[in-house]
């Protein structure tokens, strides 16, 4: 199993557990994750890590993991052109500059979760 996704998912579960405790929630039904394409975490590996780690968590026995992949959005520092790009083409299509600022796509966070 990929160690990166494993540790990411441990952190996700820690965050959800902490919040559920504060809210008095004892059954989590769904966890929604936003995973940027630059976050280096692969959804299938995240799902595997989740199914392994949630086995030991009474809170998560009925929890479904929902992963929302987030596209990479960059803005060119040369010409201001803004676009969604693939992972390996960090070149501005407006002017050819490689001086790009990443606006979106590095994020990996718990979007929300549902429970009672
Ligand atoms: Zn440009």
**Tally of domains in the chain:** 1
CA of 75 to the centre of ligand 1 (A): 8
CA of 105 to the centre of ligand 1 (A): 19
pLDDT of residue 40: 86
Q: Which residues, including other chains, have CB under 8 Å from residue 11's CB and lie 6 or more apart?
A: none
User: Containing domain of residue 16, as a range?
Assistant: 3-115
Tell me how far CA of residue 92 lies from CA of 36, 38, 76, 85, 103, in angstroms: 20, 17, 6, 9, 14
CATH number of 29's domain: 3.30.2320.80
Write out pLDDT tens, residues 42-95. Answer: 999 999 999 999 999 999 999 999 999 999 999 999 999 999 987 668 899 999
CA of 82 to the centre of ligand 1 (A): 8
> Cα–Cα distance between 26 and 37 in angstroms, integer?
32
Which pair of tokens denotes residue 32? 């929604």
CA of 73 to the centre of ligand 1 (A): 13
CA of 104 to the centre of ligand 1 (A): 17
CA of 101 to the centre of ligand 1 (A): 11
Please state, for a pLDDT cut of 70, what percent of the chain lies above it: 97
Tell me how far CA of residue 49 lies from CA of 1, 7, 8, 29, 74, in angstroms: 8, 9, 9, 17, 30
The band of 29, judged by pLDDT with boundaries at 50, 70 and 90, is very high
CA of 79 to the centre of ligand 1 (A): 4
- With vertex at residue 23, the alpha carbon angle to CA 27 and CA 30, rounded to the nearest 5 degrees, is 40
CA of 68 to the centre of ligand 1 (A): 28
């Amino acid at each position: 199993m990929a160690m990166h996704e494993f540790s990411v998912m441990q952190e996700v579960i820690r965050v959800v557990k902490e919040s559920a405790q504060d809210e008095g929630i004892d059954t989590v039904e769904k966890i929604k994750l936003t995973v940027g394409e630059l976050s280096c975490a692969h959804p299938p590996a995240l799902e595997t890590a989740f199914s392994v780690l949630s086995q030991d968590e009474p809170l998560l026995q009925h929890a479904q993991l929902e992963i929302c992949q987030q596209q990479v959005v960059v803005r060119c520092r040369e010409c201001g052109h803004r676009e969604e790009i693939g992972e390996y083409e960090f070149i501005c299509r407006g002017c050819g500059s490689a001086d790009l600022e990443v606006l979106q796509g590095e994020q990996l966070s718990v979007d929300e979760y549902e429970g009672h």
